[in-house]
Structure 1
Amino acid sequence: MTDNATAPAELVAGDRVAGRLYTDPDIFDQELTRIFERTWVWVAHESELPGPGTFKSTHVGKQPVIVTRDRKGELRTLLNRCRHRGASICEKPSGKANGFTCPYHAWSYGLNGKLRGIPYPDGYEGVVDKAELSLKTLRTESYGGLVFATFNDAAEPLAEFLGDARAWIDLFMKQGGGYPIKVLGKHRFKFRGNWKIQLENTTDGYHFPIVHRSWMASVDAETADMMSFMTDPAAITHDLGNGHSVMQMVPEHSDLDADDGTEPLQGRFDDLVQELSKTLDPAQVRKLVRAMHGTGFNLNLFPNVSMSSAFFRVLRPVAVDETWIEHVAIGPDGPPEVEAVNRERLRIHEHFQGPFGFGTPDDAEGWDRVQRGAQGAPEMPIMVNRGLGRETTSPEGWPTAHVTDETGMRAAYGKWKEMMGDD
């Protein structure tokens, strides 16, 4: 339990955080209300909601929601809770509907959340005004195809919250090779650890060659060389403000449009190049194939989503020691011939992600071990001080250090401290 004499925000210093941040259920409960119910939380990609009536079930913190497009095509996020007796009104992960009907007493709602009908209404005459019993609606805004929602009507506009991260979102979306991005598939798993352990991971270049040496040994020499960034002085991490950060592992691939044509395409994609060349011009083929591994950076958006090279990673806190992770594979949304690219991108995704990949099991084992170890000597701090002495300020005004430094973690915990101290 939290020591009532110590406010949670006081448990975060510039170079360390209290171990209790991983293990204290009181702190976890406060995080849900002070962070996940106050700020913008990622809920969907627009490609998952291609037209009116399409929907996706997900969560904001621990609260179940439905993200949908109403009849006018406007994005909506609705609390997945009937206004009558509290039953969930949608259990499907995704689909298309004209509205939502509670299976318990058949109260029905429109795509905009308005209460449309009550069976046997005679018992409610003079008791119920349907206009007052719409589904609870969350503020919903999108940027670059990313859909966010918040319970906080007073939250700043999404664009303001994303701030300087918007430019990196724009760069990330270029991996469509000239086409928009769409979701190709996803898989979910949970680890027995606190959500902040995973939040730290996306801009933690320090662990990569240690935890992922089996993956490095499994790929071709060109890919392994591309990801050998540990001693590259150009590989850096920026604190972008508002808890967001970006880790540039392969700086020359940060902007996929910046291509002088001299970098050879990897030989492993020769067959794909031949297939694409039957219908696409050489410039299109080069653009698509050069982006096969995604961008050269990981972008962490506080508090629940990261854009990791070539996929989205979404976290959902369940308990102080339990977190769901969803890995979302993405690719170009183009003509039929581009599906050959998406087929190959899925194979690359599966090679690292998922239960049979070389990356996800190793990451999850590390996260589990942090949680188990944090049970010991809870008064001992978690250190996030690597690179603090060599951190500089970029021309944009961003705190910046090497890709192996913990600048991104300090960014996230700075925002955590701000929100947990705001009463």
Structure 2
Amino acid sequence: MSDFHPTAYQAIDTSALYKRAEADRVSPSLYNDPAIFEAELERIFYKTWIWVAHESELPKPGDFRTTTIGRQPVIVVRDKTGEINVLENRCRHRGATVCEQHKGNARGFTCPYHSWSYGLDGALRALPYGDGYEGIVDKTELPLKSLRVGIYQGLIFASFDQSIEPLEDFLGGAKPWIDLFMKQGAGFPVKANGEHKFKFKGNWKIQLENTTDLYHFPVVHKSWMKTIDDETAAAITSFMTSDKAFCRSLGNGHSLAVLVPEIVDLDEDNGAPIPARYEALAESLAKDYAADQVRRIVRSLMGVGFNLNLFPNLALSMAFFRVLRPISVEETEIRHVALGMDGGPEEANRARLRVHEHFQGPFGFGSPDDAEAWERVQRGSHAGPDVPILVNRGLNRETTAANGEKTAHATDETGMRAAYAKWREMMEQQ
């Protein structure tokens, strides 16, 4: 564990947490109680697997990116052996950060305060004027602290808890869906293809709920649907009445919402004609690719037909990654990472970017509407503090499989209930 952790969580009465997050409702205080927020950092973000980067962002030895887990800055770096390390971004001398760049390539990291220098593996390599430390400091005992690292399908996770269960066990029932999500590379590896970030004035759990909340889609995203062709709009919103679209809990707080069943597995070609808006692209691709590969690439342009929520901070949402970072009890940072085909045709990657920008981009039609809704939930949480937030939609039609996974209609709140069950489990730990 890290050297420092907040202590406000000690004021939480764990015996009362169950009443704040019941099976079908949660207290508004979960959105606005600072003591609960501090406890969440300690008991969730500093105790479980947190997504920090994608391997495509670190292709070469020395490549790094900086990020934050809770309030703690970390460096994700590929060392000279090709291994991925996640290091606390804090000099072991006086505590200054050793790297302030968002991303780059380095041979090591040097503290700007007193020039203590560290290798890509975190080892303390040198400190100036060492005679003042003779017999006092053993460099082997003062590396940058390392987090435990787990990687699945290029997704890099880290945890401060060195004894945590293996990442694959934590992902559990989500793994087959991650595998399906990564098929959108159309035979090429999936790569991060740029990102943008923004903040909203609301609690992180409001966004956590959103990824598998399809009930809001035709209401909040009316403006986006007015900008697309009727064929696309009908395909995207068909889940409202489809008996093949569903929401499912996957264990450990993870959940799934399938909205376009026809493109859940992109390897399956149903023979549907190429949409008119992509006919010109398909004709151009046909100069360099076989007909079946052209169809495979075009089928992948909008990603897969589902959203996958990985508790607590990553969503694999159709064609992009959405990453949340809690800043305070009433402020959250969101990163949207666009995805492309590593080594695939650039004109198809550009088409994917245009799709991303249209909805998720900073000037898109989707994200601003979502952020407005999230902020209104936060403001509303201060009215009627004793009136619960309801997450009970679909309880009347939810079924439970032998493996414990619960399934209901795509518009139901099964995913939210799964996340809050995991939230309560972790928050009640001593």
- Please list the CA deviations of residues 200-239 of structure 1 after superposition, one character each: whole Å capped at 9, or x if unmatched: 0000000000000111111111210111221111110010
Q: For residue 414 of structure 1, what is the aligned residue in structure 2?
A: 421
User: Quick one: distance in 2 between partners of 1:385 and 1:376?
Assistant: 20
**Which residue of structure 2 aligns with residue 369 of structure 1?**
376
- Shift in Å at residue 394 of structure 1? 4.4
Corresponding residue SS for 2:280 = helix
Q: What is the distance in 1 between the residues matched to 2:241 and 2:429? A: 40
**Which residue identity is paired with 1:255?**
D
- The answer to whether 1:238 aligns with 2:248 is yes
Structure 1 counterpart of 2:199, one-letter code: K
- Where does structure 2 lack aligned partners over 5 or more consecutive residues? 1-7
Separation of aligned partners in 1, 2:428 and 2:61: 40
Paired position in structure 1 for 2:87: 78
Q: How many pairs were matched up?
A: 420
Residue in 1 aligned with 2:340?
331
Aligned counterpart, 2:227: 218
Partner of 1:290: 299
Query: Cα RMSD over matched residues?
Result: 1.3
Pairs within 5 Å for 1:229-378: 229-260=239-270, 262-335=271-344, 338-378=345-385
The answer to whether residue 132 in structure 2 is matched with residue 123 in structure 1 is yes
Percent of counterpart pairs with the same letter? 60
Matching of residues 89-238 of structure 1 within 5 Å: 89-228=98-237, 229-238=239-248
Q: How far apart are 1:410 and its partner, in Å?
A: 0.3
1:250-288 residue CA offsets vs partner (Å, 9 max, x unmatched): 01111111213x211111011111111111111111000
2-structure distance, mates of 1:5, 1:397 = 26
2:77 is aligned with 1:52: no
Whole-Å Cα distance in 1 between the matches of residues 379 and 337 of structure 2? 27
Does structure 1 retain, via aligned residues, the 8 Å contact 2:12–2:39? no
- Name the SS of the counterpart of 1:95 in structure 2: strand
| Aligned 8 A contact 1:57 1:94 in 2 | yes
Displacement of 1:393: 2.6
Q: Deviations over 1:386-415 (max 9, x none)?
A: 001110134764200001100000010010
Report the Cα distance in structure 2 between the residues aligned to 1:242 and 1:177, rounded to whole angstroms: 30
> Could you say what secondary structure the match of 1:179 adopts?
coil
| C-alpha contact (below 8 Å) 2:12/2:35 kept by paired residues | no
Structure 1's unaligned 5+ residue stretches are: none
Tell me the distance in 1 between the aligned counterparts of 2:19 and 2:269. Answer: 47
TM (normalized to structure 1)? 0.97
Provide the secondary structure at the position in 1 that maps to 2:216: helix
d(CA) in 1 for partners of 2:163, 2:136:
32
Provide the rounded CA distance (Å) in 2 between the counterparts of 1:244 and 1:293.
Answer: 23
Q: 1:4 offset after TM fit, Å?
A: 4.2
1:353 and 1:388 map into 2 onto residues whose CA distance is: 31
Mapped contact 2:14–2:427 kept (Cα < 8 A): no
> 1: CA distance between counterparts of 2:310 and 2:14?
31
What's the CA shift string for 1:347-406, capped at 9, x where partnerless?
110000133100000000000000000011212111000001110134764200001100
Question: What is the aligned partner in structure 2 of residue 12 from structure 1?
Answer: 21
CA distance in 2, matches of 1:155, 1:7: 26
User: Is contact 2:193-2:339 (8 Å) kept?
Assistant: yes
